[in-house]
Amino acid sequence: MDRPYVFINVAMTADGKIDTSARRGAAISSARDKERVDKLRAESDAVMVGGRTLLDEDPKLTVKSEALRAERVGRGLPPNPMKVGVVTRADFKSHSKFLHEGGARIVIFTTHRTSNEQLAFLRSQNAEVVVHDGERVDLQEMMQALRELGIKRLMVEGGATLNFELIRLGLVDEVSAYVAPMIFGGETAPTMAAGSGLERSGAVPLRLIHFENWDDGGVLLQYKVEKVS
């Protein structure tokens, strides 16, 4: 395989929303799910997010548990996995948590729509920046580059457009979803996968490989993405 093993992880409401229509990163995960996500990060070589999540929510993408960070160090790894950003125009704020918190290696894939001034700023913050020629980042080329950087297991934490494009291109092996016992509604509230969408005949099939019914009222679902023949 010329790319990492890729899995998408989401927390969503019972009506499939990963945020409210306000798009301010509404809390969905329970305390138990947050612990699960922290463990998944600790087990990954890199954690990736797309443009809107990256710039609007400015996630730290760090391993919160001191014990889990220590376990990584004990295995000869840095305390936090590599942070990967995929963004058409990388207009980061100077005080970005993504850039400055956790001491992790940072790789940003972007396009020529990012200004030279912003590219220089990112590189001055010790971010490794890869600029693609097209109007959007070439996700297949990006995956090959990550594999060449030694990334074997890649965790994707959204957002909806990146999730869909990766799935559409056959670049995802697994999808895990914590379904919380709540409903957001809202026509413009984002779901797990957005983008242009697929016809029913082109739907990507999933195979349920694991599920758990939790005491907090939520359900954990784990799917294998089936290869379309």
Average pLDDT of the chain to the nearest whole number: 96
Q: What number is the average pLDDT over the span 34-43?
A: 98
Which residues make Cβ contacts (< 8 Å) with residue 205, sequence separation at least 6? 225, 226, 228
- Per-residue confidence (pLDDT) for residue 146, from 0 to 100: 98
The widest CA-to-CA distance across the chain, in whole angstroms, is: 51
- Per-residue confidence (pLDDT) for residue 229, from 0 to 100: 59
Q: In the chain, where are the structural domains located?
A: 5-225
Q: What number is the average pLDDT over the span 64-79?
A: 97
- Per-residue confidence (pLDDT) for residue 51, from 0 to 100: 93
CA distance 163 to 78: 26
pLDDT score of 24 more than 90: no
Q: Spell out the CATH class of 5-225.
A: alpha beta
- Phi and psi at residue 39, to the nearest 5°: -65, -40
- Per-residue confidence (pLDDT) for residue 150, from 0 to 100: 97
pLDDT score of 64 more than 70: yes
Q: What number is the average pLDDT over the span 113-137?
A: 96
CA distance 56 to 163: 17
Which residues make Cβ contacts (< 8 Å) with residue 75, sequence separation at least 6? none
Confidence band, pLDDT 50/70/90 cuts, at residue 25: confident
Q: pLDDT tens-digit profile of 142-159?
A: 999 999 999 999 999 989
pLDDT score of 4 more than 80: yes
User: Which contacts of 111-118 are long-range, i.e. CB under 8 A and separated by 24 or more positions?
Assistant: 111/135, 111/136, 111/137, 113/88, 113/89, 114/87, 114/88, 114/89, 114/90, 118/90, 118/91, 118/92
pLDDT score of 37 more than 70: yes
Q: pLDDT tens-digit profile of 192-210?
A: 999 999 999 999 999 999 9
Beta-sheet strands, E only, within the chain? 5-13, 46-50, 82-86, 106-111, 128-132, 153-156, 174-180, 206-213, 219-225
- Per-residue confidence (pLDDT) for residue 175, from 0 to 100: 98
CA distance 65 to 31: 13
